[in-house]
Amino acid sequence: MKGAISILIALGLMLASCGQQKSNIQKTEIQKQTGMNTNNDDSGKVVKTDEDWKKFLTPEQYHVLREKGTESPFTGKYYLNKEKGVYVCGACGNELFTSDMKFDSHCGWPSFDKEIAGGKIKTVVDTSFGMVRTEILCGKCGSHLGHLFNDGPTESGMRYCVNSLSLDFKKEDNK
Ligand code: FE
C-alpha cells in the first residue's frame, strides 16, 4: 500500500513538473512569436535586454539607439524630409516630434525646435568627447536620440539635433 502511495506521489510530482515545463515552453513560444522579451511595466516604460534589442533593430539602429552612436551628417533619411506627420522613437514608437516642429538647421541632422509635450523625452548631461552637452533620450525606452542645444533660430531658442536612425516617421493621413 505504501508502495502504491509512493508511486502516486511520484506520478503527481512528474505531472506537476511537466505542467511547469509546458508553461515555460509556451512562454518562450510567445516571446519567439512577438520577436522579443518585452516588458511594459506599470509606468509605461519599455524594458528589453540588449539581446532583444539586437533582434528587433538593425545593427545601425542598435549602434545609435542603444550604444549612443551618431550617424554621419547629411546621410540620414529624415534630414531633408518635409512631409507632414509625426516623428516617433525608432525603438519603441513613442511620439516625439511633429513635422511642424522641424526646421532647416543645415547641420546635417533632423532638427526640431520643441518636443511633443508630456515628458516624451528625458535629458542627461553628456561629458563624452571632452564636451559638456545635453543628451536626449526617449522617455519611454531610454534609447539615445541625439543632443539638445540652446542655439536654435526660432522663438523657442532650442535645437533638438536628432539622428534619423533614432526615428521613424508616420506620414499624416490626408484622406
Ligand atoms: Fe523609445
Q: What is the pLDDT of residue 38?
A: 57
- 81 shares its domain with 154: yes
- 111 shares its domain with 142: yes
- Residue 57 CA to residue 96 CA, distance in Å, equals 19
Examine residue 43 and state whether it is found in any structural domain, yes or no. no
Cβ-proximal residues to 47 (8 Å cutoff; 6+ apart), any chain: 38, 39, 40, 41, 141
Q: Is 11 or 170 the better-scoring residue by pLDDT?
A: 170
- 124 shares its domain with 84: yes
Residue 141 has pLDDT above 90, yes or no: yes
Please give the residue range of the domain that contains residue 104: 50-171
169 Cα–ligand 1 center, Å: 13
Examine residue 27 and state whether it is found in any structural domain, yes or no. yes
117 Cα–ligand 1 center, Å: 15
Q: Flag whether the pTM goes above 0.85.
A: no
For residue 50, report the phi and psi dihedrals to the nearest 5 degrees: -60, -40
57 Cα–ligand 1 center, Å: 12
- 87 shares its domain with 8: no
What average pLDDT does this structure show over 161-173?
A: 97
Tally of structural domains, the chain: 2
46 Cα–ligand 1 center, Å: 7
Ion ligand 1 — residues with CB under 5 Å? 89, 91-92, 94, 138, 140-141, 143
**Is 18 considered catalytic here?**
no
Residue 130 has pLDDT above 90, yes or no: yes
- Residue 18 CA to residue 146 CA, distance in Å, equals 49
Please list the alpha-helical segments (H only) found in 36-126.
50-56, 59-67
Q: What is the pLDDT of residue 173?
A: 86
Conformational region of residue 154, where left means phi above 0, alpha means psi within -120 to 50, and beta covers everything else: beta
pLDDT digits 0-9 by tens, 93-105: 999 999 999 999 9
Instruction: Dig out the grid coordinates for 11 from the structure.
Output: 506520478
Please list the alpha-helical segments (H only) found in the chain.
2-34, 50-56, 59-67
